Structure 1
Amino acid sequence: MSKQNQASRRRFLQQIGATSILAAASPLSSLAAKEKAEERILHYEKKISSADKIRVGVIGFGIQGHYDLATALQVPGVELAGICDLYTGRLENAKELYGNDLFTTRNYKELLDKSDIDAVIIATTDCWHAHITKDALAKGKAIYCEKPMVYKISEGMGVIEAQKKYGKVLQVGSQRVSSIGLAKAKELLAAGEIGKLNMVNAVYDRQSAIGAWEYTIPDDASAATTDWERFIEVTEKMPYDSKKFFWWRAFKEVGTGVAGDLFIHLLSGTHFMTNSKGPASIYSTGQFSYWKDGRNMPDVMAGVMQYADTPEHPAFQLTLQVNFISGTGGQEEIRLIGSEGVIDVKGNNITVHHSIMPEAPGFGGYDSVFTFSKDMREKMQKEYDAKWTEAQKKRPKKDDIVFKAPQGYSDHLDHFTNFFDSVRTGKPVVEDATFGFRAAAPALACNESFFQKKIIQWDPVNMKLV
């Protein structure tokens, strides 16, 4: 480790004893000062302001819409003011959950017209994200838009410009950007804990029909009950297809596949931890391995992205993997690999393992020296021993670090808390439109690469295809 990195690490270890990455922390100074193996458990007790009431509307009340609303309502001072969905059964479900007096509609513009709604959660099919976001901004609503922020790369700058024009809060829904676990990994990386970063391996595998998006389709599904004509207003004209409505992630006409659903999580997490603006080149490949159910987006996909050397981080390579029939049973992990160790990020739990090369160069063992003559071997051995001490020949040892988020911690709740704090105070959100687009564009470029069978060049600073 360089002297600069050593000093950075010492400062980091001293600082975490007195302060936390968020609101409150257990005292860690005794563990930090000794620089030995430790389990850093942050007791998260973030105080949430219940100041001004915020009335929220939901556009898209499917799986994620349900989860988002349930989480949003855990934030003090947040109230539900209306729900929009195209499927009639979900509007019935909304009234069953929240009362018959709840305002419901199949036309999102009617919800946006309501003056008593301050913010909207957009949890629709991907192809509608940008359209509804821009309409909501024009109506003066604060926006929590599910990832990916856009369906097409060409939509990204339009959303960014609309947010700047209307000046309303816009946060993208990749909750890992609010994760205390990823914040800890970010600190450890910046402190030089694993030396110089050179590679990131990111995996998000599943093994179930539901995980592969084969969601249950209701018995009453039809063009009428799903308002199909409205659903395809922003797409190519298509005959009614219940799978494209309820399994939309699997179809490129309306969704963005594993790249938009899962690569985006891995990208947003990686960008947060590394402070990166994004990759310069993107390549992906995939196959239809198991879920041959009419989908036209692959169920196994891998991507390779090259990140340039920048003021924010050294050059590194990112590999992405999604496997929907994984014998592992499913896994999610981001592994940051540096010159002196690895940081394993599994959910909100972090493990650091070190492997540091000795100062002395290699000599002996699986080495060509044994193929030399005896006289040459002995001569070179003496020279090596005279130049390097025994300490310099050995690998330096550093104990592992383990960080665990407290039981019951929710980065989803943290993400919504941060969003509503921004709505109340005007402070910057943790994942604005620019960050959201810089994560979405490389993910969507993976689809472009897969279908076009070519490497995609991307300008992460100016956010445009090259």
Structure 2
Amino acid sequence: MSEKDSRRRFLRQIGATGMLAALTPFSSLAAQEKAEERILHYDRKFNAADKIRVGVIGFGVQGHFDLATALKVPGVELAGICDLYTGRLENARELYGKDLYTTRDYRELLARKDIDAVIIATMDCWHARMTIDALAAGKAVYIEKPMVYKISEGQGIIAAQKRYGKVLQVGSQRVSSLGLAKAKELLAAGEIGKLNMVNAAYDRQSSIGAWQYTIPKDASAETLDWDRFIAATPKMAFDPKKFFWWRAFKEIGTGVAGDLFVHLLSGTHFITNSKGPETIYGTGQFSYWKDGRNMPDVMAGVMQYPDSPEHPAFQLTLQVNFISGTGGQQIIRLVGSEGVIEVNGNDLKITHSIMPEAPGFGGYDSLFTFPKAMQEEMTKEFNAKWTADQRKSKKKEDIIFRAPKGYSDHLDHFANFFESVRAGKPVVEDATFGFRAAAPSLACNDSYFSKKIIRWDPEKMKLV
């Protein structure tokens, strides 16, 4: 009964955030006679009890996507946009009206009384300063991942959120994913036995995926406000690549670790309830995109997670390949003692492989190397001890779960954020969760450059 009660409580919790999978009870999954494909039922109602006016700081690629998604949530209105490139401010007025408030100084936007919340989608090096300034100005904050540019900045943001008491949500949308919620439930239900390994990959196969974004014809130190841009960095000579391809440069961005490892970590931590790893190792190379960048285009990470109240010990491997013959993939594979949950975007597949109760005997075994009389004697003893059923592997068919067509975890993430702003409910990804995903990701960079294993305390959230 306690297992049933626990499952009911979990489903109620999921329903409270708008994600409810009304499926056959898990106790019946093992009894399925053939593989099935099921659609995850989705019944979210979007309400707008109060108007929320948002400002955007950083109107680049992600800033455009974030704003467009945020405005799909009922009751959300745009109040202003800040960007350092004049062309993007012109683009903002073309998209949202010539009377839209625009500025190149984010502090002016924070000073406006008609703005309730801000979306911060800037270069990584500005994240911490802008987030703390926004909280101090009384604004709710949606800060893009990674939450911080340096590990040393994390505790400051956590403290600022507590001090000012404003809503802060980190923008790793997989934490609001319907599919990941189902993976979380399946893992907790023991569908794949005891977890021991997670393999996570986020590959790409395009120049745009490798951050080679188009640079505007009018790019100059004046049109990009270069002096203001480098106020958060070591002094640098003007270079439009560093402004528009900033993820590729360690002086400004955090490379594949901050861009993509953090997605894989936030998803893994959500599914497993993990607080993080204890040891971290990162390695990388410059394989294809030798375009002046100083952050690798192929990178791997290995992390060891300790045995904890939340989960058994497991190993996590991370992979990003920016010239991948796969055509690009985005997968988290949770490997257990009895099967695998493979999460692909918002969909997942469960496959099983269950060892027989009886130990291995015969076949590719040392038995046949013994004298014939001993082989016969030992075989007779084995058959007397173990029944035919105990010697067979148990079968459980594959099951595929799919999110409904048109489902968006990005929209759900913003809906959850604005619901927290309106009702004061806890966010789905607070500063502590965001830091616990960002810090091990950034530690992969530290390991890569130092060629050392990094040790991390996941409870105290500090380097050891």
TM bracket (short chain): over 0.9
- Aligned match of 1:234 in 229, 232, 235? 232
Q: Secondary structure at the match of 1:392?
A: coil
* Distance in 1, Cα, partners of 2:287 & 2:4: 45
Matched residue, 2:47: 49
Distance 1:186 1:421, change over 3 A: same
Q: Which shows bigger deviation, 39-48 or 335-344?
A: 39-48
* Distance in 1, Cα, partners of 2:230 & 2:11: 52
Q: Secondary structure at the match of 1:39?
A: strand
* Distance in 1, Cα, partners of 2:304 & 2:286: 25
Q: Secondary structure at the match of 2:389?
A: helix
Matched residue, 1:275: 273
Matched residue, 1:265: 263
Superposed counterparts of 1:53-452, under 5 Å: 53-452=51-450
Offset at 1:180? Answer: 0.5
Matched, 1:28 2:23: yes
Offset at 1:14? Answer: 12
Contact kept? 2:281, 2:448, Cα under 8 Å? yes
Q: Secondary structure at the match of 1:238?
A: coil
Contact kept? 2:26, 2:189, Cα under 8 Å? no
* Distance in 2, Cα, partners of 1:457 & 1:352: 33
Offset at 1:206? Answer: 0.4
Offset at 1:43? Answer: 2.9
Q: What is the aligned length?
A: 461
Q: Which shows bigger deviation, 392-401 or 404-413?
A: 392-401
Given residue 151 of structure 1, which amino acid in structure 2 is its aligned partner?
Answer: Y
Contact kept? 1:196, 1:314, Cα under 8 Å? yes
Which consecutive aligned stretches of 4+ in structure 1 deviate over 2 angstroms post-superposition?
A: 7-17, 19-35, 37-40
Distance 1:155 1:23, change over 3 A: closer
Offset at 1:28? Answer: 2.9
Contact kept? 1:13, 1:33, Cα under 8 Å? no
* Distance in 2, Cα, partners of 1:358 & 1:389: 11
Distance 1:74 1:88, change over 3 A: same
The C-alpha deviation readout for 1:414-442, integer Å capped at 9, x for no partner, is 00000000000000000000000000000
Distance 1:16 1:124, change over 3 A: closer
Distance 1:278 1:103, change over 3 A: same
Offset at 1:40? Answer: 2.9
The C-alpha deviation readout for 1:290-331, integer Å capped at 9, x for no partner, is 000000000000000000000000000000000000111100
Distance 1:49 1:299, change over 3 A: same
Distance 1:394 1:16, change over 3 A: farther
Offset at 1:333? Answer: 0.2
* Distance in 1, Cα, partners of 2:341 & 2:252: 36
User: What is the Cα-based RMSD across aligned positions, in Å?
Assistant: 2.0
Structure 1 residue runs without a partner (length 5+): none
Distance 1:16 1:431, change over 3 A: closer
* Distance in 2, Cα, partners of 1:118 & 1:111: 11
Q: Secondary structure at the match of 1:240?
A: coil
The C-alpha deviation readout for 1:70-104, integer Å capped at 9, x for no partner, is 00000000000000000000000000000000000
Q: Secondary structure at the match of 2:283?
A: strand
* Distance in 1, Cα, partners of 2:147 & 2:28: 43
* Distance in 2, Cα, partners of 1:137 & 1:162: 7
Distance 1:318 1:25, change over 3 A: closer
* Distance in 2, Cα, partners of 1:60 & 1:161: 24
Offset at 1:42? Answer: 2.3
Contact kept? 1:9, 1:192, Cα under 8 Å? no
Given residue 234 of structure 2, which amino acid in structure 1 is its aligned partner?
Answer: E
Distance 1:26 1:62, change over 3 A: closer
Given residue 206 of structure 1, which amino acid in structure 2 is its aligned partner?
Answer: R
Offset at 1:25? Answer: 5.1
Structure 2 residue runs without a partner (length 5+): none
Contact kept? 1:122, 1:143, Cα under 8 Å? yes
Given residue 259 of structure 2, which amino acid in structure 1 is its aligned partner?
Answer: D
Contact kept? 2:181, 2:271, Cα under 8 Å? yes
Offset at 1:399? Answer: 1.6
Given residue 171 of structure 1, which amino acid in structure 2 is its aligned partner?
Answer: Q
Distance 1:30 1:137, change over 3 A: closer
Given residue 105 of structure 2, which amino acid in structure 1 is its aligned partner?
Answer: N
Offset at 1:109? Answer: 0.3
Q: Identity rate of aligned residues, in percent?
A: 75
Contact kept? 2:331, 2:343, Cα under 8 Å? yes
Q: Secondary structure at the match of 2:260?
A: helix
Given residue 403 of structure 1, which amino acid in structure 2 is its aligned partner?
Answer: F
Distance 1:311 1:56, change over 3 A: same
Contact kept? 2:17, 2:416, Cα under 8 Å? no
